[in-house]
Structure 1
């Protein structure tokens, strides 16, 4: 190691990896007992500690917080404005008396390249507050093509009235625009408990071209970043970027491979929604960026590799921004154990 000794830095730590993992598991179990929510729990080796990112309203969970303090965890209180809807969201079902939007409802000869990071929008109807999210990346399952995004993007509906498939229609929303007009397709395969992911079936084939690329229009030299594959990560400190409708392309450092988010559950499903298998990176995301792709530049390749998909974001009161995301393997793994295939450039 002589050749590398000047590049290495060793720090004495007080907690072993086993101790950190054990504390992490104990806190999750206690959170279940206290029915605690509105927080992200992250195992962060950089600090040799567990970090509890707690929304301001989480302070009412005094029993859980006091228990966590016994382990010496780091507690960061957050600004309001997380990416998730509140537990009192109003839901409305659409009576399916008429046919769904026809994919060919607009016949003008215009093909849109829908890229990762572009905006997507619930279909607006009377009494429903539409939700803005971001496109992730195109995947396929056999002959069907889907646009991956966050499952919680369905939360404001409108749903097709049961006993139909509880699917939600999505429209295209360009960057720097609040006008969503073109129908993409329906998200009928999604989850918001355990994992936060969903797949929008591309139904408007005449309108949208499923281009395997990421939107980067703020850079005139590289407005589109081709997707050449995915990339499993095993190194904390890796430099990552994301693209989203609200904050566009931002970059930062991966700092946790193990985190959990707990938010108020959806009425009729669960009191608490626990999102597992999330990683945390210090990069900026805001409302509307949910579902956007997380990616990495690889030296010598003429494109980028997908690392994951944004499912949440936080900002601490001392102005630290953290994004949480599912890694790519979680996104590609469906609940029935079948796999989605990432669409890449030839």
Structure 2
């Protein structure tokens, strides 16, 4: 009997480690699209074509804003879907000079919809007014293009009933976030097993770890930036909530770097005191006088990949298409990817404070980010699977949805510029 239980436990242990290994056998983007690695470039080309078509469609349907309810792409189905309220206007779009002499129409599907862009925008604005009035806690509000409706994600643990009831007149969809497939690195007891590198100089890559040495808060390296007016000032951009600047201990915090493959802490510098930490949730760690400035790179860590262990961050770009991919590199969950779900969103925190313009990304029912990933770079792949365009920094998770702060807000409000790759 004892041997039986020993064998049973051995098999269980093997199953657990086998399951964990399966999580990391594919490229992160292949995991998202549920394809094999050798199919990635084909699907990547499909997505690029769909985004191109979507960029052409968006201004066309805005000329008939009462007749259409927005667009979204689906890479697996190889289609750009156009929510259509008035089908009689469809020929105007299909006969446009931008589309009629191309094969783009083979990749466009017009689907019946109830809500136009005007209706959605008007309802969203009115719900935002209710958010400011009732100050609900921990909600996410956005326009979901696939549902052709406004979605309000909320926690059952928070008493937001007065706010939720007040929004029913606008017929939103209410969702209580959940996760069916948790990320194994987020689970208590599953830790990283570092492999010490032989070289003594540890480069600092986007997605690696940061620690606030005052309160032991873990976050992630975002990207390297310089001051707009003084190029000698160098910063690491990360999430603002990694700091406790709002306390009486302001100015006493030091941050350290933690590589994925080394347990050693390397002291970097202090976070610059700024009201942007509260208003936009990003912070700047001043590394100008740090000996580790020479170790700072524009690369993004992707160690779990068999072929692309380091990603080249070439430039900053903006997200334009619902349904396109967004990937992030972070201290805990490493590189994971999701679909763009919400643009121009409204998010409230545990105090009921509202934050605009965060972007939501998700792989439905899957947890793709963990505590400790905050501040890590969020990016989209460019012309291949080695080079990426930065689109923001990761800020947190609510159920199966994750959120990031767009790059253009960080650069403009922080008065900084992105240090670009020299590769």
Shared fold, TM over 0.5: yes
Q: Which has the higher strand share?
A: 1
Contact 1:192 1:275 (8 Å CA) reproduced: no
Matches within 5 A, 1:225-304: 225-265=311-351, 272-283=352-363, 284-299=368-383, 303-304=387-388
Structure with greater Cα Rg: 2
TM-score (norm 2): 0.64
The CA deviation string for residues 134-178 of structure 1, in whole angstroms up to 9 with x for no partner, is: 1111011121110111111114x69664xxx6463211123277x
**Residue of structure 2 in register with 1:169 after alignment:** 254
Contact 2:213 2:254 in 1 (8 A): yes
1:16-57: CA deviation from partner (whole Å, max 9, x where unpaired)? 112111211211211221121111111222211111111232
When residues 344 and 219 of structure 1 are mapped into structure 2, their CA distance, relative to the original with a 3 A threshold, is same
Task: Identify the structure with bigger relative contact order (alpha carbons < 8 Å, sequence gap 6+).
Answer: 1
1:214 and 1:152 mapped to 2: Cα distance?
A: 22
Please say if residues 269 and 287 of structure 2, whose CA atoms lie closer than 8 Å, have aligned partners that are also in contact.
Answer: yes
Partners of 1:168 and 1:186 within 8 A in 2? yes
1:149 pairs with 2:249: no
Match of 1:55 in 2: 155
Which of 199-208 and 21-30 deviates more?
Answer: 199-208
For residues 40-189 of structure 1, the aligned pairs below 5 Å read 40-58=140-158, 60-79=159-178, 110-124=200-214, 128=215, 130-141=216-227, 142-155=231-244, 161=249, 166=251, 168-175=253-260, 179=263, 181-189=265-273
- Residue matched to 2:416: 340
What is the match of residue 326 of structure 1? 405
C-alpha contact 1:15 1:49 (8 A) present in aligned 2? yes
Q: Secondary structure at the match of 1:26?
A: helix
For the 8 Å contact 2:308–2:386, the answer to whether it is kept is no
2:212 touches 2:243 (CA, 8 Å); kept in 1? Answer: yes
Structure 1 or 2: larger helix share?
2
- Structure-2 residue corresponding to 1:10: 110
Separation in structure 2 between the aligned mates of residue 160 and residue 192 of structure 1, nearest angstrom? 16
RMSD in angstroms over aligned alpha carbons? 2.4
Conservation of the 8 A alpha-carbon contact between 1:140 and 1:341:
yes
Deviations 1:47-81 (A, max 9, x none): 111111112323x111001112232211111359x
- In structure 2, runs of 5+ residues without a counterpart are 1-99, 180-198
Asked if 1 retains the 8 angstrom alpha-carbon contact of 2:251 and 2:270, the reply is: no
Shift of 1:247: 0.9
Deviant stretches of 4+, over 4 Å: 157-160
What is the number of equivalent residue pairs in this alignment?
A: 294
Shift in Å at residue 301 of structure 1? 8.3
